[in-house]
């Protein structure tokens, strides 16, 4: 049930940026660096000439893991080198894709149920942005609301779904 093939950078960013940030935030001290590393993953993905290679989260997180290793190599002289490297080596399996979702039927059914519990407009806006990759501008225009209001709907939907599905994830 893969992420779509041949996504462009905007779609990739929307799909993976929060998870990549969470991934790096756990592993580097400096949050600005997490942002830089996330950006670098997208740069490398976008530089891929072969579109089919740009699919799949396993590949994406492999790049993220490689970046952490390169960073550890660069910091070779710094005090925390051994500590960082040891940590990465110990996590090899997990690093393939720590956010891989083993979404069984039951949790997809729960997701569906939670979406249905949302207000119809909130649900539609969330689906259009998250799954149809429409821009906030386009959504705001057609619903006759401001971009800020679109963001409020997106936040509300994400918060409710996270709370409802908390234990299933």
Partner 1 sequence: MNPREPSPERFEAAAAWCVELAEGPLPDDRQRAFDAWLVGSADNLATFERSSALWREVGEAATSPELIDVRERALATFRRRNQWRWARRAVTGRAVAAAAAVLLAFGGTAWWWQSAPDIYRTGVGERRVVMLDDGSRASLDAATEVDVRMRGDRRELHLVSGRAKFDVAKDPLKPFSVRVGDKLVVATGTSFSVEMINGKLRVILYEGRVVVLDQPAAGRTPAEVLPALKGGDEDTALTPGRELVVGISGQSQAQLAKADPVRSLSWEGGQLVFEDEPLSLAVGRINRYSARRVELQGTAGRLRVNGVFNTGDVEAFATGVEETLPVRVIRERDVVMIAPQ
Nearer to partner 1 by Cβ, of 94 and 138: the residue is 138
Question: Looking only at residues 117 through 136 of this chain, which bind partner 1 when binding is defined by CB under 8 A?
Answer: 120, 123-124, 127-128, 130-136
Question: Looking only at residues 137 through 166 of this chain, which bind partner 1 when binding is defined by CB under 8 A?
Answer: 137-139, 141-144, 151, 154-163, 165-166
How far apart, in whole angstroms, are the C-alpha atoms of residue 69 and residue 132?
Answer: 34
Residue 140 backbone class (left: φ over 0; alpha: ψ -120 to 50; beta: rest): alpha
Binds partner 1 by CB under 8 A, chosen from 28, 40, 91, 96 = 40
Binds partner 1 by CB under 8 A, chosen from 5, 76, 87, 117 = 76
- Nearest approach, Cβ of 169 to partner 1 (angstroms)? 5
Write the CA distances from 13 to 4, 20, 40, 86, integer angstroms: 13, 10, 12, 30
How far apart, in whole angstroms, are the C-alpha atoms of residue 11 and residue 2?
Answer: 14
Q: Does 15 bind partner 1 (CB under 8 A)?
A: yes
- Nearest approach, Cβ of 83 to partner 1 (angstroms)? 18
Instruction: Number of helices (H) and strands (E) in the chain: give both, helices first.
Output: 9, 0
Binds partner 1 by CB under 8 A, chosen from 28, 81, 96, 99 = 99
Question: 42-51: long-range contacts at Cβ-Cβ below 8 A with a sequence spacing of 24 or more?
Answer: 42/9, 42/12, 42/13, 42/17, 45/9, 45/12, 46/9, 46/12, 51/5, 51/6
Q: Does 112 bind partner 1 (CB under 8 A)?
A: yes
- Nearest approach, Cβ of 44 to partner 1 (angstroms)? 6
Binds partner 1 by CB under 8 A, chosen from 5, 66, 82, 117 = 66
Question: Looking only at residues 79 through 98 of this chain, which bind partner 1 when binding is defined by CB under 8 A?
Answer: none
Binding residues for partner 1, total number by CB under 8 A: 87
């Amino acid at each position: 049930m893969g992420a779509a093939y041949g996504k462009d950078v905007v779609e990739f960013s929307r799909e993976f940026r929060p998870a990549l940030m969470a991934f790096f935030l756990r592993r580097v001290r400096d949050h600005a660096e997490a942002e830089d590393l996330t950006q670098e993953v997208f740069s490398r993905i976008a530089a891929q000439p072969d579109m089919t290679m740009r699919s799949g989260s396993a590949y994406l997180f492999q790049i993220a893991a490689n970046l952490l290793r390169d960073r550890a190599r660069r910091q070779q002289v710094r005090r925390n080198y051994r500590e960082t490297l040891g940590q990465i080596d110990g996590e090899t399996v997990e690093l393939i894709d720590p956010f891989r979702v083993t979404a069984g039927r039951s949790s997809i059914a729960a997701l569906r149920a939670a979406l249905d519990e949302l207000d119809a407009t909130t649900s539609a806006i969330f689906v259009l942005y998250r799954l149809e990759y429409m821009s906030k501008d386009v959504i705001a225009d057609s619903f006759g609301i401001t971009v800020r209001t679109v963001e409020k709907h997106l936040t509300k939907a994400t918060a409710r779904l996270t709370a409802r599905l908390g234990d299933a994830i």
